[in-house]
Amino acid sequence: MFFISPVLIPALFWGVVLYDFFNSEVPPGIEQPLKLHTIMLVVQTSQHYSFQILSLQQGKILEKLGICNDFAVLRAAVDGIPPWRDSKLLIKDLTVDEVPLRIYQPKSPPTSKRRGILYFHGGAGTFGSISKKWASFIFQVKSKPLHFSLQACVNQCLYRLSPEHPYPGQYFDCLSATLYFMRNLEEYHVDPGLIIVSGDSCGANFATVICQILLNDRDLPKVRAQVLLYPGLQGLDFQLPSYQQNAFGPILPRKLVIYFCFRYLNRKPTVLKDIIQNCHVPESMRQKYKKWVIHEAVKEILAGTFSPLLAEDSIICQLPESCIVTCEFDVLRDDGLLYKKRLEDNGVPVTWHHCKHGFHGILAFFDYLVLNAICSALLKSLKII
The string of DSSP codes covering 323-374 is: EEEEEEE-TTHHHHHHHHHHHHHTT--EEEEEEEEEETTGGG-TT-TTHHHH
The DSSP code for 377 is H
Count how many Cα atoms sit within 13 Å of the Cα of residue 181 in the half-sphere of its side chain: 32
The DSSP code for 160 is P
Of the pLDDT bands very low, low, confident and very high (cuts 50, 70, 90), residue 361 is confident
Q: Could you tell me which residue, 29 or 119, shows the higher pLDDT?
A: 119
CA 359 – CA 33 distance, rounded (Å): 11
CA 103 – CA 118 distance, rounded (Å): 9
- The answer, as to whether pTM is greater than 0.85, is no
Tell me phi and psi for residue 326, to 5 degrees.
Answer: -125, 160
CA 74 – CA 51 distance, rounded (Å): 8
Which range (35-39, 333-337, 374-378) has the least confidence?
35-39
pLDDT value of residue 264: 87
Name the pairing type of β-strands 350-359 and 190-200.
unpaired
Do residues 322 and 228 touch, judged by C-beta distance below 8 A?
A: yes
| Long-range CB contact pairs, 254-259, < 8 A, 24+ | 254/331, 256/49, 256/52, 256/53, 257/232, 257/331, 257/332, 259/56
**Element of type H or E holding 75:** helix 72-79
pLDDT value of residue 2: 46
Domain boundaries, the chain: 7-81, 88-235+298-384
CA 206 – CA 305 distance, rounded (Å): 8
> pLDDT, tens digit, for every residue of 91-119?
899 999 999 999 988 888 888 899 999 99
Do residues 200 and 122 touch, judged by C-beta distance below 8 A?
A: yes
Number of H helices, E strands in the chain: 14, 10
Q: Does residue 86 carry a pLDDT above 60?
A: yes
Tell me phi and psi for residue 252, to 5 degrees.
Answer: -135, 85
pLDDT value of residue 109: 83
3-class DSSP state of 117: strand
> pLDDT, tens digit, for every residue of 130-145?
665 556 566 544 333 3
88-235+298-384, CATH topology level: Rossmann fold (3.40.50)
> pLDDT, tens digit, for every residue of 198-224?
999 999 999 999 999 999 998 999 999
Of the pLDDT bands very low, low, confident and very high (cuts 50, 70, 90), residue 335 is very high
Burial (CB count within 10 angstroms: exposed 0-12, middle 13-18, buried 19+), residue 357: buried
Q: Does residue 9 carry a pLDDT above 70?
A: no
Of the pLDDT bands very low, low, confident and very high (cuts 50, 70, 90), residue 80 is low
Preceding peptide of 145 cis, ω within 30°: yes
Of the pLDDT bands very low, low, confident and very high (cuts 50, 70, 90), residue 332 is very high
CA 202 – CA 208 distance, rounded (Å): 10
Average pLDDT of the segment spanning 349-358: 90
> pLDDT, tens digit, for every residue of 147-203?
345 678 989 999 999 888 999 999 999 999 999 999 999 999 999 999 999 999 999
Name the pairing type of β-strands 141-142 and 321-329.
unpaired
Tell me phi and psi for residue 78, to 5 degrees.
Answer: -70, -40
Of the pLDDT bands very low, low, confident and very high (cuts 50, 70, 90), residue 146 is very low
> pLDDT, tens digit, for every residue of 264-294?
888 776 666 667 666 656 666 666 655 554 4
% of the chain surpassing 90 pLDDT: 38
Name the pairing type of β-strands 147-148 and 190-200.
unpaired
Active site residues: 201, 330, 360
Sign of CA dihedral 275, 60, 37, 31: positive
